[in-house]
Amino acid sequence: MQQFQQYIGGAFSDGAEQFDSLDPATGKVWARMPEASAKDVNAAVEAAEQAFFSPEWAGMTATARGKLLYRLADLIAENAPRLAELETRDTGKIIRETSAQIAYVAEYYRYYAGLADKIEGAHLPIDKPDMEVWLRREPIGVVAAVVPWNSQLFLSAVKIGPALAAGCTVVLKASEEGPAPMLEFARIFDLAGFPKGVLNVITGGPVAGATLTSHPKVAHVAFTGGPETARHIVRNSAKNLASTSLELGGKSPFIVFEDADIESAVNAQVSGIFAATGQSCVAGSRLVVQSSVKDAFLARLKEKAEAVVIGAPDDMATEVGPLCTRRQRDIAVDLIDRSVAQGAKLITGGKPVDREGFYFPPTILDCSEAPNADSLTNEFFGPVLSVVSFETEEEAIAIANNTKFGLASGLFTQNLTRAHRMIKAIRAGIVWVNTYRAVSPIAPFGGHGLSGHGREGGIQAALDYTKIKAVWLRTSDDPIPDPFVMR
């Protein structure tokens, strides 16, 4: 059984308590993880604050910070096989996905390494002749980064990368579900040469989360997860008046018009909902398909769904692995049963795979006659697709926007003018046209409504980890007149 440690102030420790981590492929314990206590969290925040004000970090040039981030990126690339192996073992995400994604995570750190000395202020053409005024962008302070179990290395990179580039320090709380890759990441970070305390990595449940997000020395909370947890974080942040960025997932529409390249759209839909076993915040979980092509589209999609290779996550031939937890599998079963009772028609899947572990097959529900089915409105992580049909463009827009979320969307059409109308009309932070799940460190992502606020990725993310200081410099040599002498 493997043993993992937390990382606080540049040192590794076991934590006040420990807990078992289950292998989703077997449902059995495979490792012991540290569970941070309130005392551990306090120590991590104190270490981050001390590092933030230390000459080693505060006095470091932006270019030097960038070089450390480049070094970190190289180490991630060198250790990608080990990181991929651990993420697969602890979360059930298949090895072909973790290997590809972690290799690309290094590019996010390289992007922010290059951006570190491009975060600029501004000179203001002020309306006073004897004044020079300019703006400085300075790091906001200690950042609390909280990430869920799916794609932890990626979701932490879009927080740690811009925060360190801006000159902040970070306390990262990994999910208590599958934290192994982040605790291993701490070991890699330790080799990069950053000053002690610049990054601290802990894991644990509600006590650790509440202590961290309400800590008086935390200036910003960057969170990825669900709306209910986000509400707790917003309430907690009221105690320290920390700013927040919240990426909360969604119930993303995948819209297919009759003029679309059907085979291409089917393949994109398979990727959008069955890749990562559906455990993705941008999963295209609502198929909105024009009635004239619905039957043909579903027939082809069903064929591909039933041909998906379900197997052990560490097998390169596997296309869909287990869900991360037994709870996620049980939620899927309950959601599908309720939706069928509400009038949805089960096209394929719907029952747990009869094997050891938390496996669940690609599932398709036709909800055209059940527009209020729970599977159409509730976000949950699993390979379950809900289908509705439409006749007109206006109807497609109405269905797409009939959600409390607004993170991502997909649109498949060969009509350029229609594409532009739809792009404008869809309320979502991302619109993919004739593609899906494409990401880049250069492009920001984030949502509307219950999908949260703030953006991760791109230049804006780094700016969000800064605050503006206005500097006024009087250029006149004349003495300032006495304000109480009338002239």
- Residues with a catalytic annotation lie at 247
Token pair recorded at residue 231: 């509400």
Backbone dihedral angles phi then psi of residue 185, each to the nearest 5 degrees: -55, -35
Token pair recorded at residue 400: 């797409």
Amino acid at 309: V
DSSP three-state, residue 160: helix
Per-position DSSP letters for 402-451, written without gaps between them: -SS--S--EEE-S-HHHHHHHHHH--SS--EES--S---TTS-B--SGGG
CA 199 to chain centre: 18
Amino acid at 455: R
Token pair recorded at residue 411: 């649109």
Look up tokens 């980890």; give the residue.
465
How far apart are the C-alpha atoms of 108 and 91, rounded to whole Å? 22
Per-position DSSP letters for 122-187, written without gaps between them: EEE--S-TTEEEEEEEEE--EEEEE--STTHHHHHHHHHHHHHHHT-EEEEEE-SSS-HHHHHHHH
Contact yes or no for 280/151 (Cβ under 8 A): yes
Look up tokens 């006073």; give the residue.
128
